[in-house]
Amino acid sequence: MTEQPNILLIEADQLTAFVLSIYRPGGQAMTPNLDALARDGVVFENAYSNSPLCCPSRASKFSGRQPSSHEVWGNGAEFRSEIPTMMHFLRSAGYRCVVSGKCHFIGADQLHGFDKRLTTDMYPSGFDWTIDWSKGPEHRLGTSTKKLEVSGLCRTNNQLLYDAEVQFRALEFLRHEALAQPEQPFFLHVSYTQPHEAYQSIPDYWDRYEGVEISLPEIPEDADPHPTTEWLKIHHGIDQYPPDEETIKLSRRAYYAMISHLDDYLGELVAELKHLGLYDDTVIVFTSDHGDMLGERGMWFKRTFYEGSLQVPMIFHAPGRFQPGRVTECVTLADLCPTLAELGGAKADSDRYGSADSASFLSLLTGEGDSRKDEAISEYFGPGVIEPWLCIRRGDWKYVWTRNHADVLFNIADDPAEQHDLTGDPAHAGIKDELCARLLDRYDVETVTARAVDSKKTRMFLHSALEGSEGYHWDYQPIFDATRQYVRGINSPSTA
């Protein structure tokens, strides 16, 4: 076992924790390979997204920063090249950093420290998806529950085609480049687009749920919805296209089938590591960028701070390094940046150039040294809501603050379904004030909000001015030189 392990970071898109049996007994998604990874790994029971939306969440994961710092406010905001990432830190320690799949980088820099991308990205890299807050809550067809009308079986779709390429390229990298350069540790990020909506799958996975009584949401409607919930219901079109019971069951079954598809991909990657002799010296990390409400409280998709949307699965697997078990401390995706940097021997650079927004939790894995703070902070300046929205989870408590609107306090241990707001209870005034101060004392919220609003307006102008221009093309084009493949390749590994 070498001092610098290989690192395989596997990421799902919009995979909520509550459908997995490793997080909730009775979770209906069938995931034998993920279950096996969890049995021999370290399961983080309270891992959270720093912003329940693709681009901000992924920017936080890569950089260790909050949205207020990296300023990726939504899915149309640029991730600046000057921000150090986990890839920069690992490269400084001698790693080769490669990604197969989705990063959702916006802007001309489509690498951010990766040596190589094996696929293009899934979505546009320009300012196309910038949304102005000034219009108030408005329905967006691209993120509408109208999509649920197509939930179920399909022959194929963009997501299936994309993930098949992601898997092929990842296996190809392991079989060729990783095997040909055993002296250099690798960081391989494999990032799928399933089980993001639209919820569709093929018979191989759909049929695994034949005869299973797909459960309906435990809380079909929110009895006293917060204004943010009302905004999101407009944004997602839930008020216009409320799904009926049959549609909900079809959507959930297809979502589970997509997860089973990913689980097979995970099994293939693990089997290939074993076959190539790389397994014992590779740390496998599995997570997601955010969750999905799946109809709970009448809500769908992500963007909310309720557990279904905000909590993510997180598993570290390296039985030779980390004692299998479960961790209850709160961590975030942003904490992966300093953690993986420290794991790879780049702690000094991460400490110097990283962010105070995150902290390494390697000690929770090794059992050595002091534990990090038991805290997870999330921020949302994206589409669907019209005010800045902040959340903190510390220990058993979750506190949510919305500018110009009521705040919310839950005790997650006593009230995991988040149905009893405790902000009006004098007995909990102390913890509420403490958590509120922790959120608001980090920076001036009005200044940050003004930056976010100005950025949205500027990007909308830039997109309208550049649309149709030959130079406005930042989407990544992977480069493959077929003339140097197979026997023609200088570094072709032996077939022995």
Distance CA 256, CA 201 (A): 9
The end-to-end CA distance of the chain, in Å, is 23
Residue 384 phi/psi, 5° resolution? 105, -35
3-state secondary structure 414-472: CCCCCCCCCCCCHHHHHHHHHHHHHHHCCCCHHHHHHHHHHHHHHHHHHHHHHCCCCCC
Which among 288, 259, 274, 115 is positioned nearest to 190, based on CA atoms? Answer: 288
By CB atoms closer than 10 A (0-12, 13-18, 19+), residue 214 is: middle
Which among 3, 89, 157, 55 is positioned nearest to 382, based on CA atoms? Answer: 55
In contact, 258 and 195? CB cutoff 8 Å: yes
| Contacts for 162 with CB less than 8 Å, ≥ 6 apart | 101, 102, 119, 122, 192, 193
- Catalytic annotation present for 54: yes
From the list 70, 88, 104, 196, the catalytic residue is: 104
Residue with tokens 């570290």: 316
In contact, 178 and 128? CB cutoff 8 Å: no
Which among 424, 375, 372 is positioned nearest to 395, based on CA atoms? Answer: 375
Dihedral angle computed from the Cα positions of residues 419, 424, 425 and 428, in that order, rounded to the nearest 10 degrees: 90
Distance CA 439, CA 357 (A): 12
Query: What is the full DSSP assignment across 143-156?
Result: G-GGGGGG-EE-S-
In contact, 410 and 81? CB cutoff 8 Å: no
From the list 54, 103, 330, 337, the catalytic residue is: 54
Q: Is the dihedral of CA 443, 445, 447, 450 positive or negative?
A: positive
Residue 332 phi/psi, 5° resolution? -130, 170
Distance CA 480, CA 496 (A): 25
| Contacts for 339 with CB less than 8 Å, ≥ 6 apart | 360, 361, 362, 365
Token code pair at residue 72 = 């990726």
- Catalytic annotation present for 330: no
What residues are annotated to the active site? 54, 104
